[in-house]
Amino acid sequence: MSDKCQADFGVFKESLHTFAPKTASMKRFLFLSMLVFIGLMVWVSVHEKEDNMSLPQKLERAMRLTRMKEYHNEDYDYTVRYPSFFEQTDSSLMEKGTCRFSFWQDSTEIVQTVFVEQNKDSLTLEQAMGKYASNLHATHQKKGDDYFILAGHILTDNGQITNRRYYAKFVKHRKLWFVQTLAYPEDCEHAVQRLIQEINNWKVW
């Protein structure tokens, strides 16, 4: 090989060594840029999907992911669990033994309530279930060892069916009824399933 060819070959080899790191850096840069782009597209897609979700769908997702808080009533020594994004009504505004937690957005309202009342007539579970089922026009009834559950539509004062439903559990203890109720719009039936399960599992003692 001539001296000129050897010199040109040496320059070419040096150029390769110089270019190689730049090429590697460029590849890393392009790879990272692609990851950022993909991440951005995923984020935009998720948020666009959430924006297109109806309120009941958003509520269903929130109910599924939320942390449940606990409230303990010192007057009657019961505990109830409620979603962390529900607002608790000031206890000073409530009757003794009563608590209330609610969610309100636009025209959608969900209310979870617990209250205690006297069993003045000393009704048995069967008698009380029949009485309250009639008064509340219940379309669903279930009886346990020390409780019964009623559910149905909430009616107007004139007896008209509304688009709101209720789910209630009555627990009998001596001469007291411990009652937990849930009132919600009909289109939020799926969204409140976690709360309904909480009511089903609720034990006073």
The yes-or-no verdict on residue 190 having pLDDT over 50 is yes
Residue of 158 and 13 predicted with greater confidence: 158
The yes-or-no verdict on residue 90 having pLDDT over 60 is yes
pLDDT per position as a tens digit, 18-77: 545 556 677 776 777 677 666 566 544 544 445 688 999 999 999 999 999 999 999 999
Q: Which of 201, 192, 200, 168 is nearest to 63 (CA)?
A: 192
Given this model, what pLDDT does residue 33 score?
A: 66
> CA-CA distance, 177 to 104, in Å (whole number)?
28
Q: How confident is the model at residue 11 (pLDDT cuts 50, 70, 90)?
A: very low
Determine the CATH number of domain 55-201: 3.40.1000.10
Domain extent listing, the chain: 1-52, 55-201
pTM of the model: 0.74
Q: Which residue has 């029949």 as its token pair?
A: 130
pLDDT per position as a tens digit, 141-184: 999 999 999 999 999 999 999 999 999 999 999 899 999 999 99
> CA-CA distance, 138 to 152, in Å (whole number)?
5
Contacts of 104 (CB under 8 A, 6+ apart): 87, 110
Q: Which of 164, 141, 143, 75 is nearest to 114 (CA)?
A: 75
Given this model, what pLDDT does residue 170 score?
A: 98
Tokens of 192: 């409140």
Given this model, what pLDDT does residue 92 score?
A: 87
